[in-house]
Structure 1
Amino acid sequence: MRFTKWGGKLHWHFPVTPLGTDEWGSWYGTPQGARIQRGHEPAQVQEHDFVTLIPAEGWYVAAFNTHANWRIDLYIDISTPPTITGDLIEAVDLDLDVLRARDGRVMLDDEDEFAAHQVRYGYPPHVIAAAQIEADRLMAEVTAGAEPFTAVGRAWLARYAASGAR
């Protein structure tokens, strides 16, 4: 999985293993101990398993986290529609994030970064509008407990965690 920022600057990148597909999209796993990296910073060791949903359609990538002590169980990056080419998944991170805390709170994060980057990187108006529409839609769906953000995502995560994939 490789995220860039607008203009092609390397952002988060990490290994994923295909898990399968369903009506929601393609699912991938990343195990505890994997090396994840932001840009060209030193790599970090992933502290917990997570699964990633590459949606069948949409301007986002969703990650479901196992770590009980990590406060965020669902992290959705608003991005350009992800593309899959061979073994590579790519998307441009558009700053906004929809987060669900373990206590059930749903938050929209990085609105200030999104506003600043619209000017700094010259996001086209259609990209700005699409990102905001997607963030609003996902906030409503996650808050309402819509799928695949509840039982579906948790089931993929539970299967992956139980598989012991490393």
Structure 2
Amino acid sequence: MTDIAAEPAPAGTLVQVNYRKYDGSLHWNLRMRRLGEDEHGTWLGLPANGVMRKGHNPEVPLPEAHVILFPRDAWWTAVFNDAPRTTEIYCDITTPPRWLSPTEVTMVDLDLDVLRKRGADLPLLVDEDEFAEHQVRYGYPADVIRSAEQSAQWLMTAVANGIGPFGGAHLPWLAMVA
């Protein structure tokens, strides 16, 4: 495993983003441009009309531009979507993102998601049923369950109150791809 802070790829470099399930199977995946880093982590961007895939299925079009924040040592990632997409912020509860190289990042999607719809004051916690089902199906260890639940709770508060990267830090990064 490579420490991205020690040898980050230059801005503009394509980065392969691989969300996986706990059994290692490929989940959502896409290629994005590295935009840069700040105190919140590494930012990648994709202009409007980009694509992503679920596993090895056909590409899914993404009409709006978006950026993803990969924080350091946190159990989540955060997507910030450009208008008019109705979901403004979409946070996946994951294992901490691991940079396998300067051009590949991966993490395990732990099912829980925190999202905020455009114009809404409060975020929503979704996919609790899937999280419960996958705890049994994949045998999530107790520390993984605890970390996922703590991250979801932190995100609910942070998104609701504009704490950290949820206070508008994404705007300059999104402007780079919008």
**TM-score with structure 2 setting the length:** 0.86
Identical columns (%): 43
- Cα distance in 2 between the residues matched to 1:115 and 1:138: 19
Query: Does the CA-based 8 Å contact 1:60-1:81 persist in structure 2?
Result: yes
Aligned length: 160
1:27 maps to 43
Unaligned runs of 5+ in 2: 1-16
Q: 1:134 aligns with which of 140, 143, 151?
A: 151
TM-score, scaled to structure 1? 0.92
The 3-state SS of whatever aligns with 1:16 is strand
What residue is the counterpart of 2:177 in the other structure?
160
Structure 1: stretches of 5+ with no match in the other structure: 162-166
Q: Deviations over 1:16-41 (max 9, x none)?
A: 11100011100000122222100122
**Does the C-alpha gap of structure 1 residues 55 and 20 become closer, same or farther in structure 2, counting only changes over 3 Å?**
same
Q: Give the alignment of 1:16-95 within 5 angstroms.
A: 16-68=32-84, 70-86=85-101, 87-95=103-111
Question: How far 1:160 sits from its partner (Å)?
Answer: 2.8
CA-CA distance at 1:57 after TM superposition? 2.3
Deviation string 1:50-96 (CA, Å, 9 cap, x unpaired) is 0010002200111100031x211000000000011221110100000
Structure 1 segments of 4 or more deviating over 6 A? none
Q: Structure 1: how far apart are the matches of 2:118 and 2:62?
A: 19
Shift of 1:11: 0.3
